[in-house]
A and B are shown apart, each in its own frame.
Chain A
Amino acid sequence: GESVGLHLPTLSVQEGDNSIINCAYSNSASDYFIWYKQESGKGPQFIIDIRSNMDKRQGQRVTVLLNKTVKHLSLQIAATQPGDSAVYFCAGLHNTDKLIFGTGTRLQVFP
């Protein structure tokens, strides 16, 4: 079946350090992945996406890496700031257009 899971429920980093949030998926047919950020009391917000024909994609302070061999993707946040504190979700989509989410990782940034 389809599943998208997260390795760690909580990640604590110091302000200014880089953060790495990991995600594993089981459906090899997944061809598109998205990272979302959710702040308390709000809906998830799109951060960055990547297609399965790519290994890496960069945005502003964020990079997503996709390793199809081990079915793993990661979100890297450079120079983490207090405003980055939130829950981060990965989601995978395959050809049925179902967008399936993982359980989320809470990122805590301390000074």
Chain B
Amino acid sequence: DAGITQSPRHKVTETGTPVTLRCHQTENHRYMYWYRQDPGHGLRLIHYSYGVKDTDKGEVSDGYSVSRSKTEDFLLTLESATSSQTSVYFCAIMGKTGQHYNEQFFGPGTRLTVL
């Protein structure tokens, strides 16, 4: 299996509290992505990173921030969690060789419940 892990795997928190999810890779891939998955919506892109300290917004970035201070870690932060952010969060990594994308892998997911 590809070297990508997420922590925590499950979390229950209260509305208004900050939450940070961590994605860690050992593949040294350039690209990292955070998605949320909800019934009927598939996987929606929250933020992504194309290098250390290089990040950009996805489709549903409001209420989320990210940081990537080193290649292997991509952090997703909910500054003040709301019940609408209850979801399953997936991290993904992808490599690129020249113009060719390769090595797309997903993490196991984090189930977040905001009460």
Tell me if B44 counts as interface (CB < 8 A to partner A): yes
Which residues of A in the span 69-111 have a Cβ within 8 Å of any Cβ on B? 89, 91, 93, 96-104
Give the interface residue-count category, chain A: 20 to 34
Tell me if B74 counts as interface (CB < 8 A to partner A): no
Q: Are A100 and B50 in contact (CB under 8 A)?
A: no
Q: Are A34 and B104 in contact (CB under 8 A)?
A: yes
A interface, by DSSP: helix, strand, loop or mixed? strand
Q: Are A99 and B107 in contact (CB under 8 A)?
A: no
Query: Within the complex, which residue of B35, B100, B101, B107 is in contact with A101, where a contact is CB–CB below 8 Å?
Result: B35
Q: A32-B101, A97-B50 are in contact. Are A44 and B56 (CB under 8 A)?
A: no
Q: Smallest Cβ distance from B113 to chain A, in angstroms? A: 16
Tell me if A49 counts as interface (CB < 8 A to partner B): yes
> How many chain B residues have a CB neighbour from A under 8 Å?
25
Q: Smallest Cβ distance from B108 to chain A, in angstroms? A: 5
* Identity of the chain B residue whose Cβ is nearest the Cβ of A45 in the assembled complex: B106
Q: Give every chain B residue within 8 A of A42 (Cβ-Cβ).
A: 108-109
Q: Smallest Cβ distance from B85 to chain A, in angstroms? A: 19
Interface residues of A (CB under 8 A from B): 32, 34, 36, 42-46, 49, 51, 89, 91, 93, 96-104
User: Told that A97-B50, A100-B45, A101-B44 touch, could you supply 11 new A-B pairs with CB distance under 8 A?
Assistant: A42-B108, A43-B92, A44-B90, A49-B104, A97-B48, A98-B58, A101-B42, A101-B45, A102-B42, A103-B40, A103-B41
